[in-house]
Structure 1
Amino acid sequence: MLLTGFALGIVLGFVFQRGRFCVTGAFRDVWLSKSTRWLTAFLVAIAVQAVLVQLITSFGWIAPKPDQLAIWAVTSGSFVFGLGIVLAGGCATGTYYRSGEGLIGSWIALGLYAFTSAAMKRGVGKGVTDTLKGATQEATTIHETFHVSPWVPTAALALLVGWLVVRQTQNAQAPIAALPPRKTGIAHVLFEKRWNPNATALAVGVLAAVAYPLSAATGRNAGLGITTPSANVVSFLATGDSSFADWGVWFVLGIIPGSFIAAKGSGEFRLRAPDARTAVRAVWGGIFMGIGASIAGGCTIGNSLVQSALFSWQGWLAFLFTFLGVGAGAKAFVQSHLRADAVAREVAPVPTR
């Protein structure tokens, strides 16, 4: 049954790569270009997953248990994580699928993300993580706090997202002219045609919901997750303890070959070494990602996608503070470098013959 995690990881890795599904870009676009196209798509994934998870739960097939809110851990950790994913050039899923595309900078960020996560959960940073996460409040989910059915926030989110999609469709610009297709049939759809963000998000939402019963069948009562499984990979390699190699580990190990298959099929795979500045940013990005996600109790998948679909306070606060962290990172690391590059071009001497 553990191999169902690997199989789902391959499928989602393929979807992430072909659909360019990365929360960093979704959040960063809002701050830098005021575009909400990918943010809407991310909300589609949450809403689809929320509806399906509520249905599956009502049938008694799963029994998700959101954590109690550790507000200082979630807010501070998510903000740091938001800074990290800007530096790394991708969120947890983006770093994984870009590693499968051949981006060596993503290899650096991914390795340090996994290593730092393990250190914060079980090594030198464990004391800090446990202290912050131990200060909890008597709050788990939004619907429990307000004493309503979980279907109330689920329906509200579904209606809101539906309205956003309709509004986005009405305001959509004319499609950009594309080159004549080189492939036909299913090969064209899978490897050549540009995927619609909302269609990609729909697939992600469905697969995220499927993860629950598949994971529960192995004794792991959780949905998709990236941070703890990444830390578990490091712990397994360091100790040889097979208890770390759970469904979540097999899932994250499947993402890279899945994205590699997609990248090779679409002609997008190429080994690309980063320049010095990008490499340094990847180092710090991976470290910040590991620290932030460990303290917050999850990344953009475990918190902002999965926990938010359960309407846990942790999920939606993580969503907000990761968004704020990305905004701060975009202002500090992206816009400042763009300004510096522009100044450098202005003052550069004009070549003479």
Structure 2
Amino acid sequence: MIVSGLILGAVLGVVLQRGRFCVTGMLRDIWLSGTYRNLVALLIVIAVHAVGLAALTSTGVIAPDYSTFAPAAVIVGGLIFGLGIILAGGCASGTWYRSGEGLVGSWIALVMYAVSAAAMKYGPLAGFDSWMKSWDTGLTTVPEALGVSPWWFALAIALVTAALARHFLLQDAAKPKVTLNQPWYKKPLHMYTAGAIVGVIGVIAWPLSAATGRNSGLGITTPTADTLTYATTADPARLNWGTLLVLGLLVGSFIAAKATGEFRVRVPDAKTSVRSVWGGLMMGVGASLAGGCTVGNGMVETSLFSFKGWIAMVFIFLGVGLGAKLWIKPKSGSATPTTAAPAAGTYSTPQSLDHGAPANPVDPITPPAGPAGTGNLAVATGLISMAPRPKVSEKVRTLSEGRYALDTMGAVCPFPLVEAKDVMNTLQPGDELIIAFDCTQATDSIPQWAADDGHSVSDFRQNGDAGWEVTLVKGG
């Protein structure tokens, strides 16, 4: 029966990968761009989940054990987890599915996440975990505290979410946004569609999991810890429905990425690897203290309207904001792409956040032939004199007058977008910026930002496996 966890996990992995569904990015966008558009996708998960779980509970299909609220553990854990997912470049579920896309940095973060979560739950840090949770208010859910039916909250959040989704869909429909010209099976899912499917998966997960003796729904942290514990001790109690769920998530995301040309092994440099180590460790500690990650707390506990779930998400959000302020900044100085050919199917990033080697031996951005030494000066013909242009960012290569190339190959999300914004501020209206990147999430975030900021996309193409090139024309 536990094999249903593997099957449902594989479906979840496909949906998360095809929907570019990243809760870290949703929270980060609020701090970096001031937009709540993508956060609505998380609200859709919660709303669908809330209605479904209310129906299952009221009909007696499931009987959830409601978590109590331990303030110190939840607040501190939420902050640590929020900081950790910024360093790791993704939340718990995001780290699993990005591992399936071939990001070695996510593999590193995933291993460290498993180690620290296992240490907190079953190992030397279990005493610390218990001590932090010793102050327990006994509060479970908001509906129970108020003595009302959870249906009032489920229907209210469903109505608010529907209104927000309609608002942003209408807003986006009024803006031109260019997407890749791909066969239907390669097209990504709209994030709102992915959110609705994840919500349904979450509802289905609970009775399937309960049938195996695990009275819970979707979860990532404890199953991740159990996966490592089972691999090292062969304890049969650690091979359960949740363990197979996360393994299925990895398998599903790999299949989806491989089938759509979005899988390639991508090796980080030392700086990014160190960030992945610390991010993974903080994720495991933080999620264990808070009693869940952005799935356990952010999707399940919130849909049960528990105090723990909603307060944890507030502090995860604050941790993400602090981490974004500390660590997400455009690089300084010049960046000259290297020309060394990488090994087949892989590449290293000698300057992960400073843009390393291109993914393909041949640089996809090739400057046209023309007179050398024009630099940032307009080329004059006949009797027209040369007019100086404002200084353009040193991060780009000048291809021709008003046409520039930015290489962000190897930069993890959100850095391709961060760098594109920084460079675009130095260009003139009508200038072209060709951006090479291999961050899957940027296939959506860069065109969306261009549409929001009034820039146009003149070309958008995929260059081999997990490599893309988009040409933006700066708006007036």
Q: Which moved more, 1:234-243 or 1:94-103?
A: 234-243
Partner of 1:271: 265
Partner of 2:60: 60
Partner of 1:293: 287
What are the residue-to-residue correspondences of 1:153-172 with 2, within 5 Å? 153-172=153-172
Partner of 1:204: 198
Q: Which amino acid aligns with 1:177?
A: V
What are the residue-to-residue correspondences of 1:239-318 with 2, within 5 Å? 239-318=233-312
Shift of 1:192: 1.4
* Counterpart-to-counterpart distance in 2, 1:262 and 1:79: 32
* Counterpart-to-counterpart distance in 2, 1:143 and 1:269: 44
Q: Could you tell me the TM-score, scaled by structure 1's length? A: 0.93
1:35-79 CA-to-partner distances (Å, cap 9, x unmatched) read: 212101111110001001111111111011111111111111011
Q: Which amino acid aligns with 1:81?
A: F
SS of 2:196's equivalent in the other structure is helix
SS of 2:130's equivalent in the other structure is helix
What are the residue-to-residue correspondences of 1:91-110 with 2, within 5 Å? 91-110=91-110
* Counterpart-to-counterpart distance in 2, 1:324 and 1:120: 23
SS of 2:263's equivalent in the other structure is coil
* Counterpart-to-counterpart distance in 2, 1:268 and 1:313: 39
Partner of 2:178: 177
SS of 2:332's equivalent in the other structure is helix
1:205-235 CA-to-partner distances (Å, cap 9, x unmatched) read: 0001110000010011001000001111111
CA, structure 1 residues 332+243, in 2 after alignment: closer, same or farther (shift >3 Å)?
same
* Counterpart-to-counterpart distance in 2, 1:177 and 1:118: 44
Partner of 1:139: 139
Partner of 1:37: 37
Q: Which amino acid aligns with 1:44?
A: I
* Counterpart-to-counterpart distance in 2, 1:249 and 1:194: 27
1:2-44 CA-to-partner distances (Å, cap 9, x unmatched) read: 0000001100000010001110000001100112121011111
Partner of 2:220: 226
Partner of 1:22: 22
| Structure whose alpha-carbon radius of gyration is higher | 2
Match of 1:324 among 318, 325, 342: 318
* Counterpart-to-counterpart distance in 1, 2:188 and 2:235: 42
SS of 1:225's equivalent in the other structure is coil
Partner of 2:128: 128
* Counterpart-to-counterpart distance in 1, 2:179 and 2:30: 26
Partner of 2:370: none
* Counterpart-to-counterpart distance in 1, 2:97 and 2:32: 23
SS of 2:38's equivalent in the other structure is helix
Does residue 85 of structure 2 align to residue 85 of structure 1?
yes
* Counterpart-to-counterpart distance in 2, 1:66 and 1:43: 21
Q: Which amino acid aligns with 2:22?
A: C
Shift of 1:265: 0.9
Normalized per residue, the structure richer in strand is: 2
1:243-272 CA-to-partner distances (Å, cap 9, x unmatched) read: 111110010110111000100111000000
Question: What RMSD, in angstroms, separates the aligned Cα atoms of the two structures?
Answer: 1.8
Partner of 2:119: 119
1:86-128 CA-to-partner distances (Å, cap 9, x unmatched) read: 0000000110000000000000000000011001111111111
* Counterpart-to-counterpart distance in 2, 1:22 and 1:133: 28
* Counterpart-to-counterpart distance in 1, 2:176 and 2:202: 30
Q: Could you tell me the TM-score, scaled by structure 2's length? A: 0.69
* Counterpart-to-counterpart distance in 1, 2:307 and 2:282: 23
Shift of 1:344: 6.0
Q: Which amino acid aligns with 1:296?
A: A
Partner of 2:332: 342
SS of 1:311's equivalent in the other structure is coil
SS of 2:133's equivalent in the other structure is helix
1:282-329 CA-to-partner distances (Å, cap 9, x unmatched) read: 011001001101111110000111000000001101111111111110
Q: Which amino acid aligns with 1:171?
A: Q
Partner of 1:47: 47
Match of 1:236 among 230, 235, 251: 230
1:154-203 CA-to-partner distances (Å, cap 9, x unmatched) read: 1111111111112112221434234443x3xxxx1xx3123211111000
Q: How many residues align?
A: 340
* Counterpart-to-counterpart distance in 2, 1:267 and 1:226: 27
Q: Which amino acid aligns with 2:49?
A: Q
Q: Any gaps of 5 or more consecutive residues in structure 2? A: 336-391, 398-476
Q: Any gaps of 5 or more consecutive residues in structure 1? A: none
CA, structure 1 residues 180+296, in 2 after alignment: closer, same or farther (shift >3 Å)?
closer
Q: Which moved more, 1:131-140 or 1:223-232?
A: 131-140
